[in-house]
Amino acid sequence: MTANARTVALAGGQRVPYPDPVDAASRARGKANRRRDTKVEVAIRSALHRRGLRFRKDHLVRCSNGVRVRVDIAFTRAKLAVFVDGCFWHACPDHGTTPTRNQDYWLPKLEANVQRDRRVGAALAADGWRVLRLWEHEDVMEAAAQVERKLSSLDQTRRS
Query: Per-residue pLDDT for 105 more than 50?
Result: yes
pLDDT at 21: 65
Query: Per-residue pLDDT for 91 more than 50?
Result: yes
Query: Per-residue pLDDT for 23 more than 90?
Result: no
The set of residues, in sequence order, having a beta carbon less than 8 Å from that of 66 and lying 6+ positions away, is none
Q: Which domains does the chain have, with CATH numbers?
A: 35-159 (3.40.960.10)
Q: What's the pTM value of the predicted model, to 2 decimals? A: 0.84
Which has more pLDDT, 28 or 103? 103
Contact 57, 36 (CB under 8 A): yes
